[in-house]
Amino acid sequence: MNPFEDAIHAGLPLEGVEIIDMHAHLGPYYNMHIPASGAGDMVRVMDRCGIRRTVVSANVGWDTDIVLGNDMMLQAAAAHPGRLYGACMVNGNHPELSRDELERCFARPEVLIVKIHPWGTGCRLDDRRMKGIYEFASKRGLFVLVHTWYDGDPFGSQDLFAATARDYPQARWIMGHSGGPCGSRRAVELAAAVPNIFLDTTLSMCPARQIEFFVKEVGPERILFGTDNPFIDPRPQIGRVGLADIPLAAKIDIFGANARRHLAF
């Protein structure tokens, strides 16, 4: 019996499970209209589908201004304590500024993870200027969420991501989007080989039974729930996990228990 099925089909918030969204965004984006991108809008959608906590990074920090993006993130977390948490954006093209931002943001208890967008910044994961960022994350044992998309990405391919995770085993590495819509097979191969890699469920396009495939190949303990809210409506993402043909305990792990084991919410 699936205790989530009726609520999902009825469009009701899930009960009896803590849902933690580890991969979300915030604010407008130059290349796409996002009709409800503010922090308050996001929390209202969270309430509608039962997401208890969300970790956000501002879209403007991808490729434009990490300081402004982190300011937006900090303001959102302060305005919605206990609901919104922070991912500090960094950019390897600006290593000193990135280290300053890490120190500034992680002085705040609501900031939990580091966010890197190699394609957006145009800085390869193995660029030597990233070393100080990785050392900061390793020293603190932080989660580092990295945008990965297709093997041909010259800045943040899955193989570059895995090599970086191997080089810095004290940090925990989230393969954002699990390599993109066609990257699942390589993603599970790398996660199986590198124990500090975590997959996430954040995809707008995904193969059928992808969640089942992840659980079978990697196990549920290293899969984290993510939605890309507000880029993507989080409700279908909840349905993908809640209706997956996997044990109830695995769904609970993915929805939030895995995140809670590692983070001080």
φ, ψ for residue 89, nearest 5 deg: -80, 140
Residue-wise pLDDT for 53-96, tens only, equals 999 999 999 889 999 999 999 999 999 999 999 999 999 999 99
Average pLDDT (230-256) is 95
Average pLDDT, the chain: 95
In this structure, is residue 139 part of a structural domain? yes
In this structure, is residue 168 part of a structural domain? yes
In this structure, is residue 11 part of a structural domain? no
φ, ψ for residue 39, nearest 5 deg: -60, -45
CATH code: domain of residue 231: 3.20.20.140
Rounded to whole angstroms, the Cα distance separating 112 from 49 reads 23
* Cβ pair 14, 248 in contact under 8 A: no
**Burial grade of 139 (CB within 10 A; 0-12, 13-18, 19 or more):** exposed
Residue-wise pLDDT for 159-206, tens only, equals 999 999 999 999 999 999 998 877 789 999 999 999 999 999 998 777
Q: Which two tokens stand for residue 31?
A: 């290349």
In this structure, is residue 89 part of a structural domain? yes
Domain extent at residue 181: 16-262
In this structure, is residue 197 part of a structural domain? yes
Q: Specify the pLDDT at position 93.
A: 97
Q: Which two tokens stand for residue 127?
A: 């660029």
Q: Specify the pLDDT at position 118.
A: 96
Q: Specify the pLDDT at position 153.
A: 87
Residue-wise pLDDT for 13-47, tens only, equals 998 999 999 999 999 998 888 988 999 999 999 99
In this structure, is residue 8 part of a structural domain? no
Most trustworthy range by pLDDT among 27-31, 63-67, 130-134, 233-237: 130-134
Give the count of domains, the chain. Answer: 1
In this structure, is residue 9 part of a structural domain? no
In this structure, is residue 224 part of a structural domain? yes
Q: Specify the pLDDT at position 1.
A: 67
| Beta-sheet pairing, 172-176 with 111-116 | unpaired
